[in-house]
């Protein structure tokens, strides 16, 4: 099985939590913007529909 060589902090930003894929010397919020999802439209928050609000 191959090792993942891609951007590791992008995975953490997609999940919204620290996945401890980088060294634990610095906190993850000093390394990247953990609140934002990765990508061009990551800063936008998706709006929940009325149906989605029932489950949130």
pLDDT digits (tens, 9 = 90+) for 17-51: 888 888 778 888 888 888 888 888 888 888 889 99
In a domain, 11, yes or no: yes
Q: How far is CA 34 from CA 23, 38, 46, 53, in A?
A: 16, 9, 16, 24
For residue 52, is it within any domain? no
Query: Does residue 24 belong to any structural domain of this protein?
Result: yes
Domains identified in the chain, total number: 1
- In this structure, is residue 54 part of a structural domain? no
Structural domain containing residue 16: 7-39
Q: Is residue 13 part of a domain?
A: yes
Write out the two tokens for 54. Answer: 């029932």
pLDDT at 8: 87
| Structural domain contains residue 47 | no
In a domain, 44, yes or no: no
> Could you tell me the pTM of the whole model?
0.62
């Amino acid at each position: 099985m191959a090792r993942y060589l891609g951007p590791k902090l992008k995975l953490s930003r997609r999940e919204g939590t620290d996945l401890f894929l980088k060294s634990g010397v610095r906190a993850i919020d000093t390394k990247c913007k953990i609140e934002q999802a990765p990508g061009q439209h990551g800063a936008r928050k998706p709006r929940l529909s009325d149906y989605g609000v029932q489950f949130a």
